[in-house]
Amino acid sequence: MSDSPKSVKEFFGDVWKTFLDIAGQTAASSVAGMPAVQEKIEEAKTAEAKNVLWNFFPVVAIGVILFVAIKSFK
């Protein structure tokens, strides 16, 4: 397995992509510190928690009903 050296174009292309990734991460972390963004993140978390709750509530409710029914017949 021979590793061929990268061309100058490939090298600088990779450096540019890395720079853009780092710049994007830096911008995202600074924006995430803003109160309005934090509020939207909390709203999204709450909405997702409600979705999970409503997806699993019927399963849990049926389980509790079955458990109580089994206990009452013994």
In whole angstroms, give the CA distance from residue 41 to residue 49: 12
pLDDT reported for residue 51: 87
**Are residues 62 and 68 in contact, defined by beta-carbon separation less than 8 angstroms?**
no
**pLDDT per residue as tens, the chain (74 positions):** 456 666 767 766 778 788 888 888 888 777 777 777 778 888 898 999 888 888 888 888 899 999 999 988 87
1: domain range? Answer: 1-32
In total, how many domains does the chain have?
2
pLDDT reported for residue 39: 84
Maximal CA-CA distance, the chain: 79
Tokens of 7: 């061309």
Q: Are residues 11 and 24 in the same domain?
A: yes
pTM over 0.75? The answer is no
Handedness of CA 18, 21, 23, 25 (dihedral sign): negative
Q: Are residues 74 and 39 in the same domain?
A: yes
pLDDT reported for residue 8: 67
